[in-house]
Amino acid sequence: MIDFSKVKKASRVLALCSTEQKNSALIKIAKVLEENAELIEKENEKDLALAKANGIKESMIARLTLKKEQVFAIAKDVLKVVSLSDPIGETVEEFITKDGLEIAKKRVPLGVIGVIYEARPNVTVDVSVLCLKTGNACVLKGGKEAIYTNTLLVKIIKNAVKDIIPEDFITLLSDRNEADELLKAKGFVDLIIPRGSKNLIKHVTENSLVPVIETGAGVCHAYVHKLADLQLALKIIDNAKTSKPSVCNAVETVLIDREIIKEFAPILLNFAKNKGVTLYANKETLKYIDANLIEEEGYSIEYNSLDLSIKVVDGIDDAIAHIDSHSTKHSETIISTDKAVIEKFYGAIDSACVYSNASTRFTDGGCFGMGAEIGISTQKLHARGPMGLKEITSYKYIIKGHGEIR
């Protein structure tokens, strides 16, 4: 049994720490990460060796890999968080009631945040750093495929902060039984964030007694409108698919207006051949482009690889209907020169991030100026899209009276 009361106690102490204390701890974390970069890479190599021996797919290997250079980059990102404003204690709004009460709405930590994730050991640092800055404690359950890397990272973080803040602000769970305990830790844990596959998110949302924010699953779309600049469309699709195909903000489906498919098909085929992208399409689309056959349900697949679904649509309404049926509400983009059509796309698409004439790969806490992110929320309650510092806070009302009674 995990003693979650220790984490809860640490969260109460951390909530009262000053910005200076928290920033001092973050600077120390960045320093020790750099000092231990080679050791972190060696532990990561153990995880990679086991993953390859167990036949884990390449997209997961890409997420799992943590080289020395990446550790230095992570350390720099920690320092970016130091430079960001501390949201805790910020006055969101204030007003005086008709009774003379002075009311201020102020940001406060959520308390204890549990994050369950697969591969990506960088998440261990991102979550701990964002939680620390916002006065939240965190309970982490990384995938077994990253156990060596995550264990070392948490040990390093604990040692770095122990003389500044409570080291129990971060706890790493080791097996699935402990993860299930986390889901039942109502009263000790305030929020659960699952990051990973649909199956992981489904398990968490169906079994948690603690409030959950769904993140991660990304069946993202690019819609090439009949009035698109086709070379710009190719540039955007190339970036959104091939720059990092294993991530949740990579495009998985390209929708193309029927009026331009004959012109765009050879451009798309040449791109796929040159970049090693495997194309999939339904029967109707196969009339125009050479690809592998998929049924309609195939358009709901999150590939996380150099695979790409293609579909011909009959205009903006058909594109919107398709996205509505298959999107995971993450990120979608339209490529068009028609301002009215773009505005319609903005209004009709019910996803966290809706783009025009840009790659979906920008859905990221760093790109949004948040320093890092604890996840990409694909739901509407509490937070949506990249979740930075403000998104993992709550608020309370501070009321000053002068003897008022009711």
Q: Beta strand pairing status for 137-141 and 112-117?
A: parallel
- At 176 the pLDDT is 87
The dihedral built from the CA positions of residue 127, 128, 130 and 131, taken in this order, carries a sign that is positive
pLDDT in tens, 64-122: 999 999 999 999 999 999 999 999 999 999 999 999 999 999 999 999 999 999 888 99
Alpha-carbon distance of 50 to 43, in angstroms, equals 11
Q: Indicate the pLDDT class of residue 352, thresholds 50, 70 and 90.
A: very high
Helix, strand, or coil (residue 42): helix
The backbone torsions φ and ψ at residue 160, rounded to the nearest 5 degrees and listed phi first, read: -70, -35
Least confident of 45-54, 59-68, 304-313: 59-68
pLDDT in tens, 162-192: 999 999 999 999 888 999 999 999 999 999 9
SS3 per residue for 191-218: EEEEECCHHHHHHHHHHCCCCECCECCC
Q: What DSSP character marks residue 85? A: P
Alpha-carbon distance of 118 to 208, in angstroms, equals 18
- At 250 the pLDDT is 96
Q: How far is CA 371 from CA 8, 73, 313, 328, 380, in A?
A: 26, 12, 38, 25, 22
* DSSP assignment of 251-298: EEEEEEEGGGHHHHHHHHHHHHHHHTPEEEE-TTGGGTS--EE--GGG
Structure tokens, 247: 């991530």
Q: How far is CA 44 from CA 34, 67, 70, 308, in A?
A: 15, 8, 12, 30
Q: Is the pLDDT of residue 30 over 80?
A: yes
Within 8 A by CB and 6+ apart from 309, the residues are: 252, 253, 254, 279, 280, 281, 294, 298, 299, 301
Q: Indicate the pLDDT class of residue 355, thresholds 50, 70 and 90.
A: very high
CB 15 within 8 A of CB 135: yes
Alpha-carbon distance of 119 to 108, in angstroms, equals 30
Through-space distance between the first and last CA atoms of the chain, rounded to whole angstroms: 47
Mean pLDDT of 22-43: 98
Least confident of 150-164, 186-200, 251-265: 186-200
Q: Is the pLDDT of residue 388 over 90?
A: yes
For the entire predicted model, the pTM comes to 0.90
- At 118 the pLDDT is 86
Alpha-carbon distance of 6 to 268, in angstroms, equals 55
